[in-house]
Amino acid sequence: MSMTQLLDATIRQIAVPGKGILAADESGQTIAKRFATIQVESTENNRRIYREMLFTAPQLSDYVNGVILYEETLGQKASNGSTLANVLEKQGIIPGIKVDKGLVDLVGTDREKVTQGLDGLSDRLVTYKEMGARFAKWRAVFDITDVKPSCLAMETNAHNLARYAAICQAHGIVPIVEPEVLMDGDHTIERCAEVTEKVLHTVFRHLYLNKVSLEHIILKPSMVISGSTCKQQASSEQVARETVRVLLRTVPAAVPTINFLSGGQSAEFATENLHWMNKLHPNLPWLLSFSYGRALQAPSLDAWHGKDSQLVQGQEALLKRARLNAAACVGEYNSTME
């Protein structure tokens, strides 16, 4: 099978109406913080138990067709001896892998961030592919103030995203392109729209220059929302209208699917926003779906609470959120379903 055929096969399985992606690629530091909220120690075994609970939830594949894994998780084994990647594959869910190496300060800016990890990426992808990964993820972040993001931050991060995407496709691995405009701050939804449009224009210009096949990427953007400390918070209908307006101005129709990140939104708000996008705009050139981490996992983590006796409750909480987001993907969510 050629690399193009591999990419085609993966995209066909992921770009399915009514299904999305579970982001379970938290770094060791991030998952330790989340475990601390329920007084659970972040040991390798506890992380394995938690993720096995998520991945073996009955009928998860009815709503989720891909899971992004952290490097540790890709190599971990379930209690039955199978790798967690194989556990997913047996359910018809595609394993993916986070490949960036985190954020560092970008020299020449006012503490803006750039994502590292291009060095050695090609060799790592060979290993990840052998372990079962068929798609990958790289996250870039952009601050919002009156003067941020700077041109340097946008250009550098967009270039790195494009290089990563091109390298992935050369290995037959579908890249998730994730430009996250952070919700931290007191900016209005109008300022968020302005910045998001600039960021996406820059990203797609670099994807074009690096000859990335747009038909074989997954775009994982942030929604256009009010800053977390903005006094006037936009409604879900406003978020939907502004987000789609920006996407129509920036994202080529060749892109098959847009799977939003939740970016710190509550589980309910992330679902409602996605619903209104699909409800108000049913005939868009791309699918609008989800690639949520905390917005899918938080209720499950709280229900599980680190107790073997509550594994089923943890799975039920995950399945509920996955089912509601699947409904939002086709504009059929209602808050009474909560």
Active site residue 220: yes
Indicate the angle between helix axes 189-209 and 236-250, nearest 10 degrees: 30
Residue 259 has φ and ψ, to the nearest 5°, of: -110, 105
Q: What's the distance, Cα to Cα, between the start and end of the chain in Å? A: 44
Q: Which of 222, 197, 226 is nearest to 295 (CA)?
A: 222
Indicate the SS3 state at residue 168: helix
117 and 99 Cβ atoms separated by less than 8 Å? yes
Residue 60 has φ and ψ, to the nearest 5°, of: -60, -35
Q: Which of 112, 178, 180, 272 is catalytic?
A: 178
DSSP per-residue string spanning 91-107: TT-EEEEE----EEE-T
Place of tokens 């199978």: 82
Q: Is 292 left (phi over 0), alpha (psi -120 to 50) or beta?
A: beta
User: Which ranges constitute the DSSP H helices of the chain?
Assistant: 3-14, 28-36, 44-55, 71-75, 84-90, 121-130, 151-170, 189-209, 236-250, 267-280, 294-304, 311-329
Burial class from Cβ neighbours inside 10 Å (0-12, 13-18, 19+) for residue 72 reads middle
The two most distant CA atoms of the chain are separated, in Å, by 54
35 and 41 Cβ atoms separated by less than 8 Å? yes
Question: Any idea how long the chain is?
Answer: 338
Residues designated as active site: 178, 220
